[in-house]
Amino acid sequence: MTQSWNNTRFKKSCLASLIAVLLSPSVNALESLSDDHLSETTGEGVALVLDDFKMVFQAPKDISAGSSYARNIENPGQADTGFIRIIPTGENYQQLYDTGFEKNYSAAYNSTYQNTVTTNATTYTTIQNSVNNDPVLYTSKYNEFYSSKYAIYEKAEIDRYWDRSKPFNEYQAYYNSIIWRGAAEAERRTIEKIKAEKPVITDATAKVATDTRTWITAEAIRQAQLSQKDPIAEGIKAGNASAVSLTAAQISNKRTKADVFIYGLALSKSDGSLNTRYSNQGFNWGSTVNPWLFRAGTEKVRQFSATEKDLGYIALEAPLATVAANEADNNIKLGFWTDIFARSFTSSNYVDPKTGAPNVPEDLLVSERLRLQFVANGLSLNGSQFRLFQTFTSPTKDYSQTLGLASVIRINTNDTPENLTTASTNLDSKGIRISTAAKTDQLDGVGSTPALNSSVAPTFHELEGMYIYSPNINLVLGTMDQPFIVASDGNNIILEVTRIPNVPEIYNKIYQNYGSGLGTTVLKGSTCNVYQCGEAIKNVSTDASALYQGRTATHSSIAIGSTERVAGTNLLRAKTDTNSTGIMFKNANGDIKNFGSAVIDGVLIQHLKIKTTGL
């Protein structure tokens, strides 16, 4: 990236403050930060701090005195009907319809066609025999075929004896000896010589006689078939009209489109409940010394080759994760509920502009609906980072000078998962719950979804669901050296984690020695987990020890429940004692199935490509 400054000096902190003010409607409090202070921690940029922040999507009610949660009414979550609608338009549905119709049509009429062929076999045989047994007709067909095919067969026989590709063939030698008379004359005399010495005419005549009978038989059948109407075509026109209509109806009624309503999206302060989507408490995120940061920068990078160059990027960075365990950072509650419908193949994506709902609500049926609730407690995104840039030139066309992304996505809930057991009192304060059952039939809402009739949100059962306790998810999706790219191929989109080049200067930075933490002097890659994420960061160069975890890891990890770090390494393992927990199912009666903990550790995405088709 480039910067240009005129003669009039303009302090960067003023620009940062101006942008921050413009963004401030979405931020509750904007801390006063100096350039010097920021540069000591995370570098210069626009710093953002959330203070006492909370939000929930509710339906518009002009007469309300405020949020249903602020008014302390019973079941305040029933007002959580403000929604985000996602309408996947999919591929070329007319083309899919035509393909599906043809497939079903062929299957429907295949038996009819076969039956007709079998029925007409006797007719074909009768016609064939009538030709073979009619001397006048047979002679006529024979002469017709003989006159058109004999010259072809005779030439084939001559070519069998005179192989022009072999210069020392006896007839090629004869041809060469008289070429002085001209090529045409040499050709004619050579052919006459072959006819005189070889049984060309006899062989050609015999072959014509044999093939004539075969041809007459085939011709008789062909003429017979031409005299019969195509049973499939006739079926479409008349005889099987009802079956055609049935096939079309079956295709039209296939439910292959989705319609997604995400209701009541809520962010609030974490509490000890996985039954409520919203705590009605504000949370703080970031501080003056460790804020959210939106900034630009450059880094020396090797992409696709061993040549090192400066690469400019723009970055969005969450507050840094601390080296020391700090449960105060796991303070976010996320909740929403959703209705997901399977819609018919021929439905449209038009909406009512007043409500955002479909203009054909009859297609959204309760019987074709998945309704569920998602609640997460104790979330922290600290340590996450997203960098956008333009990739360098590459021999691979899709990689060259396109949009690149390097990201570390950290979703952690428990800094000390090794202490988690089934007896822990804070299980619900650090976990995710996905549930589907309503508390009662009467509290499951009216109609198929509130977007259609402004009905209240359902009240979900307080126990039923899948519980994922203390998930710690740390994903590395692209690096500056191995970017995640967004490219296009015609109308289709390509999302790809690029291949690791066969360049030691690049792959030695990515690969790791799994048993030794941050790698060896050669292999410098490492795994990002809740304990560390690459080289730790010091607050200032004079600090004796690092305060913050890094963002330079190249491998990912997913840990759920009771997990621990293997001593002397950066490897994680799931605990296996009887008190371990992580994934748990509960039914409406409160019966529990504990499936224990799980770890997926040291994952390296060497290459991943997703490409849309048919757009």
> Are the beta carbons of 400 and 477 closer than 8 angstroms?
no
Distances in Å between the alpha carbon of 368 and those of 259, 342, 362?
Answer: 11, 6, 11
Assess whether pLDDT exceeds 90 at residue 416: yes
Let me know whether 324 and 218 are in one domain: no
Question: Which of 1-15, 356-370, 509-523 shows the lowest mean pLDDT across its residues?
Answer: 1-15
Assess whether pLDDT exceeds 60 at residue 386: yes
Closest residue by Cα to residue 600 from 566, 545, 567, 555: 555
Is 116 part of a structural domain of the chain?
Answer: yes
Element (H, E) at 371: strand 369-379
Let me know whether 166 and 307 are in one domain: no
Listed residues 239, 264, 282: the one ending a domain: 239
Predicted pLDDT at 119: 56
Q: Give the list of residues 6+ apart from residue 606 with CB closer than 8 angstroms, or none.
A: 499, 500
Quote the percentage of the chain above a pLDDT of 90: 46
Let me know whether 188 and 323 are in one domain: no
Predicted pLDDT at 363: 78
Is 496 part of a structural domain of the chain?
Answer: yes
Distances in Å between the alpha carbon of 296 and those of 16, 27, 109, 387, 423?
Answer: 12, 21, 65, 9, 47
Which sign, positive or negative, has the C-alpha torsion 113, 114, 120, 121?
A: positive
Let me know whether 310 and 194 are in one domain: no
Predicted pLDDT at 74: 82
Question: Which of 29-33, 100-104, 132-136, 299-303 shows the lowest mean pLDDT across its residues?
Answer: 29-33
Q: How far apart are CA 497 and CA 556, in angstroms?
A: 14
Is 516 part of a structural domain of the chain?
Answer: yes
**Residue-by-residue DSSP string for 8-55:** S---HHHHHHHHHHHHGGG-S------HHHHHHHT-SSEEE-EEEE-E
The β-bridge partners of 403 are 390, 486
> Are the beta carbons of 495 and 484 closer than 8 angstroms?
yes
Phi, psi angle pair for 142, to nearest 5°: -65, -50
Is 102 part of a structural domain of the chain?
Answer: yes
Q: What is the DSSP letter of 75?
A: S
Let me know whether 215 and 300 are in one domain: no
Q: Whole-number mean pLDDT of the chain?
A: 80
Let me know whether 545 and 405 are in one domain: yes
Range of the domain at 108: 95-239
Q: What is the DSSP letter of 517?
A: T
412 is written with which tokens?
A: 């952690």
**Residue-by-residue DSSP string for 274-334:** SS-S-----EEE--SSS-EEEEEEEEEEE-SSS-EEEEEEEEEEPPPPBSS--GGG--EEE
Predicted pLDDT at 435: 97
> Are the beta carbons of 293 and 315 closer than 8 angstroms?
yes
- The H-assigned helical ranges of 302-461 are 450-453
Assess whether pLDDT exceeds 80 at residue 54: yes
Higher pLDDT, 15 or 209: 209
Is 394 part of a structural domain of the chain?
Answer: yes
Is 251 part of a structural domain of the chain?
Answer: no
- How confident is the model over 345-362, as pLDDT tens digits? 767 767 777 777 777 677
> Are the beta carbons of 353 and 381 closer than 8 angstroms?
no
What band does 18 get if pLDDT is binned at 50, 70 and 90?
very low
Q: How far apart are CA 190 and CA 174, in angstroms?
A: 7
Let me know whether 394 and 501 are in one domain: yes
Query: Residue-wise over 431-456: b if at least 16 C-beta within 10 A, else e?
Result: bbbebebbbeeeeebeebbbbbeebb
Predicted pLDDT at 609: 94
**Tally of domains within the chain:** 2
Listed residues 239, 261, 282: the one ending a domain: 239
Beta strand 484-489 pairing with 283-285: unpaired
- How confident is the model over 223-256, as pLDDT tens digits? 555 555 554 455 444 444 555 555 555 556 677 7
Distances in Å between the alpha carbon of 241 and those of 94, 141, 456?
Answer: 21, 41, 47
Let me know whether 393 and 518 are in one domain: yes
Q: How far apart are CA 364 and CA 602, in angstroms?
A: 43
Helix (H, G, I), strand (E, B) or coil at 378: strand
Which sign, positive or negative, has the C-alpha torsion 274, 277, 279, 281?
A: positive
Distances in Å between the alpha carbon of 361 and those of 269, 289, 351?
Answer: 36, 52, 10
- How confident is the model over 557-606, as pLDDT tens digits? 999 999 999 988 889 999 999 999 999 999 999 899 999 999 999 999 99
Is 247 part of a structural domain of the chain?
Answer: no
- How confident is the model over 111-155, as pLDDT tens digits? 555 555 555 555 556 655 665 566 666 667 667 766 777 777 778
Predicted pLDDT at 160: 81
Neighbours of 288 (CB within 10 A): 14
Is 409 part of a structural domain of the chain?
Answer: yes
